[in-house]
Structure 1
């Protein structure tokens, strides 16, 4: 049976979205996936980053842990899971820049039929997590992904997260995701892997 490759491409400034990404990776790996965790890079100068205490240091630490996502990563993947903190009710510009760079694959139809899912974090309750998640599905649809939301397909969704994707609230203090948040994220990793595996098996059988 062919391996299922899962790319988790995220942007995180304080580590909250990173924690969700790692939990999704755990769930995907538990379902047999080969996972690549990638962090989108900053678009602003070091001088701008210095205006927010800790931003530069946190970015350097995360960049040391994760490579930047590439088009080659997306082509390799059977599933793409995108994660971001909310920026005014939408995804961060850092993650959007990565998505915008996938135009070469879009033209060739290289992403059609792969599984796509999303997750996010917000600083405040009602801070835009659902609007962010829903808006992230728009580019996935344009790129040809089969959209895989979390739904209420697991008991964990009745305690945390959203039916669109896993999420966390940091209460403006960079508080880490709760145990319930992480449980939803791990389920999301399992669900995306299972759907991606089924899609890949169908595509291979069709091509045979």
Structure 2
């Protein structure tokens, strides 16, 4: 049995954020963690989805690959890493809906002392990656997580990502993350898993 359990809860529409989630999972598993990847579900109507070509088809494909995240997943995990595309410089409504469903665990204090991290993607170079990542720190703090930033604790951060979490820019073409982006994501997975392991061993609450 793994020493530490990591939940990666993300929303992805075109697969860019999904690719970052996969790299974070690789890093966490390299640190010996058991990982669950979960995709948040759409909260808009089919009519709205139809306005963006390929959205419904991509959602169906990804939902076949991943279960939806649940409160039970968060309780199971020693660490939660959340990922989202930016939506007007902030978290997507799909992922926020999942976070808002964790109130039952919050009131019981069941998320206190777990490690938390964030990652995101955006379509444009200055499309709000850092503001989105920082906005995701707020619910982590309220829920009792110990926030684990990437910092500049690995050489990969001098080429890509942010000190707050892994990120990617798709240049309005759903371009996949670069090799440098994925290196940051793998480092983030390793770091969050290592910190979660240490917190668990120390009995931090």
Shorter-chain TM-score tier: over 0.9
- The question of whether the paired residues in 1 share the 8 Å contact of 2:2 and 2:33 is answered with no
Compute the displacement of 1:56 (Å). 0.1
Match of 2:160 in 1: 160
TM-score w.r.t. structure 2 length?
Answer: 0.98
Is it true that 1:77 corresponds to 2:77 in the alignment?
yes
Task: Give per-residue Cα distances to partners, 1:12-49, cap 9 Å, x unaligned.
Answer: 00000000000000000000000000000000111211
Compute the displacement of 1:2 (Å). 6.1
Is it true that 1:107 corresponds to 2:104 in the alignment?
no
Compute the displacement of 1:187 (Å). 0.1
Residue 197 of structure 2 aligns to a residue in which SS?
helix
Is it true that 1:31 corresponds to 2:40 in the alignment?
no
Q: In 2, distance between residues paired with 1:60 and 1:142? A: 32
Match of 1:140 in 2: 140
Q: In 2, distance between residues paired with 1:159 and 1:47? A: 40
TM-score w.r.t. structure 1 length?
Answer: 0.97
- The question of whether the paired residues in 1 share the 8 Å contact of 2:2 and 2:32 is answered with no
Match of 1:179 in 2: 179
Aligned runs of 1:1-208 on 2, under 5 Å? 3-203=3-203
Task: Give per-residue Cα distances to partners, 1:69-116, cap 9 Å, x unaligned.
Answer: 000000000000000000000000000000000000000000000000
**Is there any run of 5+ residues in structure 1 with no aligned partner, and where?**
none
Residue 151 of structure 1 aligns to a residue in which SS?
coil
**Is there any run of 5+ residues in structure 2 with no aligned partner, and where?**
none
Q: In 2, distance between residues paired with 1:2 and 1:122? A: 33
Q: In 1, distance between residues paired with 2:191 and 2:2? A: 17
Point out 4+ residue stretches in structure 1 off by more than 2 angstroms: none
Residue 120 of structure 2 aligns to a residue in which SS?
strand
